[in-house]
Amino acid sequence: MSGHTTLTVDLGERSYPIEIGRGLRHRPELFAPAVRGGQVVIVSNETVAPLYLEELRRTLSAWECHEVILPDGERFKTLETVSQVFDALLARRCERSVTLVALGGGVIGDITGFAAACYQRGVPFIQVPTTLLAQVDSSVGGKTGVNHPLGKNMIGAFHQPNAVIIDTETLGTLELRQLRAGLAEVIKYGLIRDPGFFSWLELNCAALLERDDDLLAEAIARSCRNKAAVVADDEREAGQRALLNLGHTFGHAIETAVGYGEWLHGEAVAVGTALAADLSVRLGWLQEGERQRILRLLAASGLPLAPPAAIAADEMLRLMALDKKVSAGQLRLVLLRSIGQAVVSADYASALLQETLLTACSGRQG
């Protein structure tokens, strides 16, 4: 695949495009339909701004353009940082018609989207995601928010962007560890609903890590197509959207336990995916051969398969109970019936979950 792909997240009047291609950050005509009013404010961080801010400012030069540069890191995904965005918007007398532009990874996207959801009760925003993880997942679907010391992503709002503009060229400056973490979310789509994509990833994983441009663009487009379909069917996560959280209940527990930012989100999700597969086998739902394929693909992507040594099984369980999918005190997990078919279920013996956690926590390397 080469060139420029446009997908749509179909949400009636709130539908929006996902533009995918090389060099799209230089294309004002892609931004224009999504900008409301005369002011734009680019929100970025200290790492991404030196790389891409000036170019984006040039692209947006038809509008009154300001910027807010935040500190970099998951540990800054807090209400205090969102407050810094509000301070900057108010100091610049930004009006209700201001459009925010999130330039960065998932942290910047989630913070900016949340600020946009709250500022003057809601202003438009555009996602310009620059990590693989943000390009395939967090920029699409309108989940925005910040962490709380007691739980990840616990404060937030649904607020859809007006456009997602994915410039695949920006992946050229991304650290390999971050690229690998993004692959965890790519693999997720294969596992929950697209078995053909999973097989494609088994064939192309090495080339993706070598940053083959066309293959990356194809992986991003196929991921976004899957995500757009899920979001269009279930915007507010009344049902199927919860499948996108495969591995996340385990993963969020890891992120909360080790401290936000020590483990990358995608790394924690990879371990969570391996644990979800383990529990699914113990339940007799997933074949062991399929679990082995999953572990092989995660390992080939350079992702961890076991929780960090610092966490005990009972601590994981305690933190998992804080998950947003807990309903009437029951912890619902995303589990696998096969590669390409996932279910959200509380219908498992808790002893089997404990076995999964104890086995993983005793067999790990550190």
Note whether 137 binds ligand GLY by CB under 6 A.
yes
Note whether 244 binds ligand GLY by CB under 6 A.
yes
Shortest Å distance, C-beta 6 to ligand GLY: 20
Note whether 241 binds ligand GLY by CB under 6 A.
yes
Q: How far apart are the first and last CA of the chain?
A: 40
Residue with Cβ nearer ligand GLY (84 or 249): 249
Note whether 159 binds ligand GLY by CB under 6 A.
no
- Alpha-carbon Rg for the chain, nearest whole angstrom, is 20
Structure tokens at 255: 């992120």
Residue with Cβ nearer ligand GLY (240 or 354): 240
Q: Which of 222, 210, 223 is nearest to 300 (CA)?
A: 210
Exactly one of 22, 25, 77, 143 binds ligand GLY (CB under 6 A); which one?
Answer: 143
CA distance 82 to 86: 7
Note whether 267 binds ligand NAD by CB under 6 A.
no
Note whether 48 binds ligand NAD by CB under 6 A.
yes
Distances (CA, A) of 356 to 185, 257, 306, 325: 22, 18, 11, 19
Note whether 316 binds ligand GLY by CB under 6 A.
no
Note whether 153 binds ligand NAD by CB under 6 A.
yes
Buried b / exposed e along 25-43 (16+ C-beta atoms within 10 A): beeeebbeebbeeebbbbb
Exactly one of 22, 143, 159, 332 binds ligand NAD (CB under 6 A); which one?
Answer: 143
Kindly report the CA angle at 108 between 106 and 113, in degrees rounded to 5? 95
Candidates 18-26, 192-200, 238-246, 308-316; binding stretch for ligand GLY (CB under 6 A): 238-246
Shortest Å distance, C-beta 36 to ligand NAD: 22
Candidates 87-95, 137-145, 328-336, 349-357; binding stretch for ligand GLY (CB under 6 A): 137-145
Note whether 240 binds ligand NAD by CB under 6 A.
no
Instruction: Name, in order, each residue with C-beta under 8 angstroms of 211's C-beta and a sequence gap of 6 or more.
Output: 171, 172, 179
CA distance 59 to 31: 9
Note whether 188 binds ligand GLY by CB under 6 A.
no
Give the containing element (helix H, strand E) for 258: helix 248-258
What proportions of the chain, in percent to the nearest 5, are helix, strand and coil? Answer: 50, 20, 30
Residue with Cβ nearer ligand NAD (265 or 291): 265
Active site residues: 121, 143, 185, 227, 237, 241, 245, 248, 252, 265
Instruction: Name, in order, each residue with C-beta under 8 angstroms of 317's C-beta and a sequence gap of 6 or more.
Output: 353, 354, 357
Residue with Cβ nearer ligand NAD (108 or 230): 108
> Which amino acid would we find at residue 179?
L
Shortest Å distance, C-beta 242 to ligand GLY: 8
- What residues are paired with 7 via a beta bridge? 18
Give the containing element (helix H, strand E) for 21: strand 16-21
Residue with Cβ nearer ligand NAD (167 or 194): 167
Shortest Å distance, C-beta 235 to ligand GLY: 10
Structure tokens at 314: 């009972």
Note whether 193 binds ligand GLY by CB under 6 A.
no
Q: Give residues in contact with ligand NAD (CB under 6 A).
A: 45, 47-48, 51, 72, 74, 77, 104-108, 110, 130-131, 133-134, 137-138, 141, 143, 153, 170, 173-174, 178, 181, 265-266
Q: Give residues in contact with ligand GLY (CB under 6 A).
A: 137, 141, 143, 241, 244-245
